[in-house]
Amino acid sequence: MRELTAKDRERLLAHFLSLGDDDRLLRFGQVVPDHVIENYVGMIDFARDTVFGVFDDALALVGVGHLAYLPAESKARTAEFGVSVLERSRGKGIGTQLFERAAMHSRNTHVTTLYMYCLARNTKMMHIAKKAGMRIEYAYGSADAYLTLAPADQTSIVTEMLQEQAAVFDYAIKRQAQRTTQIIEAIMPSDALA
Ligand SMILES: CC(C)(COP(=O)(O)OP(=O)(O)OC[C@H]1O[C@@H](n2cnc3c(N)ncnc32)[C@H](O)[C@@H]1OP(=O)(O)O)[C@@H](O)C(=O)NCCC(=O)NCCS
């Protein structure tokens, strides 16, 4: 899992466009059409928000967590978190890891409350939220989940730094492996590879 930048917009778009109607409803609160997703991805401000991504070996984005900072009210600072994992990669802990990373990053950037909007029937997300100790308020089929964060400390800062370094290294290895495969495919006739 690594922090994404504006260079990752194309992969982000591919990730969100491959979500089916029900997943779009769960992720965005409504079944958003493709052009709304295109706008959403185009408008992500990477200088203000933080987006985390989990890549598979082919460097497709299989998990995305978007941490959006809400305007600060005096000393209280809230960030809203939204997450999606592609169907084929679910049940492997990716959603939980994205949540935990977002919570740690929030702590380290002086966020006091992590907020998540969910449909109340989203039992998987509710499970992840409850596991993290989030306070959940239900109303009219939706749920607002809040996590009060402890202030950053040396451990949270160093842990996040090490995680990001490991993630960048892991991504570089996957990219190198992908390039090597492409070179081999380009120089070898396809029947020799079969
Ligand atoms: C919600 C979502 C992000 C979870 O991703 P994931 O990678 O499968 O999540 P994880 O594997 O980390 O954890 C899933 C947890 O839910 C539990 N779970 C699975 N099915 C469940 C169900 N029907 N009811 C309750 N819990 C369930 C699993 O046991 C696991 O908990 P555990 O780690 O304690 O065993 C993914 O399903 C998704 O993208 N859904 C569509 C978009 C969405 O709902 N986004 C959230 C709104 S912001």
Q: Does residue 109 fall inside a structural domain?
A: yes
Greater model confidence, 16 or 159: 16
Give a yes or no: residue 23 inside a domain: yes
The whole-angstrom separation of Cα 121 and Cα 85 is: 17
61: pLDDT confidence band, cut at 50, 70 and 90? very high
Task: Please give the tally of structural domains in the chain.
Answer: 1
Higher pLDDT, 70 or 188: 70
Q: Indicate left, alpha or beta for 110 from its phi (over 0: left) and psi (-120 to 50: alpha).
A: left
Q: Which atom of ligand 1 is nearest to the CA of 122?
A: 44
Backbone angles phi, psi at 89, to 5 degrees: -110, 10
Asked whether the predicted pLDDT for residue 33 surpasses 80, the reply is: yes
- Report yes or no on 183 lying in a domain: no
Testing ligand 1's pocket by substitution, the residue of 25, 80, 89, 124 carrying the most ligand atoms inside 8 A of its CB is 124
- Answer yes or no: is the C-beta of 29 below 6 A from any ligand 1 atom: no
145 lines ligand 1 (CB under 6 A): no
Asked whether residue 190 is assigned to any structural domain, the reply reads no
Atom 44, ligand 1: residue with shortest CA distance: 26
The domain of 37 spans 2-154
Read off the pLDDT of residues 81-122 as tens digits, 9 standing for 90 and up. Answer: 999 999 999 999 999 999 999 999 999 999 999 999 999 899
Note whether residue 173 is domain-resident: no
Residue 166 lies in a domain: no
Distances in Å between the Cα of 81 and the Cα atoms of 70, 105, 165, 168, 174 are 11, 11, 23, 22, 27
For residue 84, the domain's CATH number is: 3.40.630.30
Any domain includes 160: no
What is the SS3 assignment for 12?
helix
97 within some domain:
yes
